[in-house]
């Protein structure tokens, strides 16, 4: 499968020397694929099922630290999404580019897409990606009035929304988007996981995207089948009532835990003051001078 032509690349918009493609160029690059599969860094990803059910014309979209889901080099069409932070692409300033790119090789690898989703995030130059073909994608305007205030969208959510708006001929499939913390990998509180899951599941029920390994079937669909005489809004309100009571009870237990661990947290806070500053903290302090 051919990558985007050099003529189309030269027609791409340029912004400060970064390779920022036009929407038309992105469509030309991605339209040949029958499926666009967004692979979350999650233990919920079932690669055996993905590879057995999808054709070879599928494009797999990986994110940042792919060693969380890959044990060996990936054989298939792939692209790597490199999320930016205030210091540039995270895998660049953390010096993880070599560790990540070793999972991809050959003509089937489309390269790296360095994305930013908020004004505080900054792109990295192509030179930081150790020779990999690099494109840049700015999603700040798309998410500006949509995402909850004081939270930052995950890369997977941002890409799913952007791909849906491109209206590609191929199907968009999300793999492993469960938003659940596992024993091995955590989820970060800077993202609004509840909002994202609601948004993505509505997208899935509208048929805009498909989801695998997270929300194959709604557990409440069985209630609608068992009580066809009950309006859907009543089922939703009853479910919300039960969930509200369970959340209230859980908050009571959390309050007790906070009280019991007060002395432990005080000791931890004391020793944290002696922890050396990270490179990111030093960078932010220097940028304010």
pLDDT per residue as tens digits for the range 127-142 = 999 999 999 999 999 9
Determine whether 16 is exposed, middle or buried from the number of CB atoms within 10 Å of its CB (0-12, 13-18, 19+): exposed
- The whole-number pLDDT of residue 180 equals 67
Scored b (16 or more CB within 10 A) or e, 38-74 reads: bbbbbbbbebeebeeebeeebbbbbbbbbebbbeeeb
- The whole-number pLDDT of residue 8 equals 43
Q: How far apart are CA 162 and CA 157, in angstroms?
A: 9
Checking if the pLDDT of 11 tops 50, the result is no
Q: What is the pTM of this model?
A: 0.80
- The whole-number pLDDT of residue 283 equals 59
Decide which of 252 and 156 is more confident.
Answer: 156
Question: Residues 194-209: what's their mean pLDDT?
Answer: 89
Checking if the pLDDT of 201 tops 90, the result is no
Q: How far apart are CA 70 and CA 55, in angstroms?
A: 19
What DSSP state is assigned to residue 186?
A: -
Total residues found in the chain within this entry = 289
Give, for 136, the enclosing helix (H) or strand (E).
strand 134-138
pLDDT per residue as tens digits for the range 47-106 = 888 889 999 999 999 999 898 889 899 999 999 999 999 989 999 999 999 999 999 988
∠ CA 231-217-31, nearest 5°, is 115
pLDDT per residue as tens digits for the range 224-265 = 888 889 998 898 888 889 888 888 888 888 888 888 888 888
Determine whether 115 is exposed, middle or buried from the number of CB atoms within 10 Å of its CB (0-12, 13-18, 19+): buried
- 100-104, 120-124, 187-191, 226-230: which has the minimum mean pLDDT? 187-191
């Amino acid at each position: 499968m051919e990558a985007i032509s050099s003529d189309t690349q030269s027609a791409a918009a340029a912004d400060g020397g970064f390779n920022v493609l036009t929407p038309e160029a992105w469509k030309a690059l991605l339209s040949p694929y029958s499926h666009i599969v967004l692979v979350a860094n999650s233990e919920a990803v079932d690669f055996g099922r993905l590879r057995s059910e999808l054709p070879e014309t599928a494009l797999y979209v990986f994110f940042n630290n792919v060693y969380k889901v890959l044990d060996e080099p990936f054989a298939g069409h792939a692209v790597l999404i490199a999320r930016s932070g205030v210091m540039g692409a995270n895998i660049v300033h953390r010096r993880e580019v070599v560790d990540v790119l070793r999972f991809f090789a050959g003509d089937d690898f489309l390269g790296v897409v360095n994305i930013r989703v908020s004004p505080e995030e900054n792109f990295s130059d192509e030179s930081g990606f150790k020779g990999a073909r690099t494109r840049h994608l700015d999603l700040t305007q798309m998410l500006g009035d949509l995402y909850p205030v004081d939270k930052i969208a995950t890369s997977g959510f941002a890409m799913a929304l952007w791909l849906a708006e491109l209206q590609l001929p191929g199907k968009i499939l999300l793999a492993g988007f469960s938003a659940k913390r596992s024993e091995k990998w955590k989820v970060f509180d800077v993202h609004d996981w509840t909002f994202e899951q609601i948004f993505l599941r509505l997208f899935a029920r509208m048929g805009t995207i498909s989801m695998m390994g997270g929300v194959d079937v709604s557990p409440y669909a069985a209630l609608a089948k068992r009580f066809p005489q009950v309006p859907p809004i009543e089922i939703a309100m009853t479910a919300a009532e039960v969930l509200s009571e369970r959340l209230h009870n859980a908050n009571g237990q959390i309050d007790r835990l906070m009280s019991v661990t007060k002395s432990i947290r005080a000791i931890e806070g004391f020793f944290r003051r002696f922890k050396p500053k990270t490179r990111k903290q030093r960078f932010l302090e220097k940028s304010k001078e």
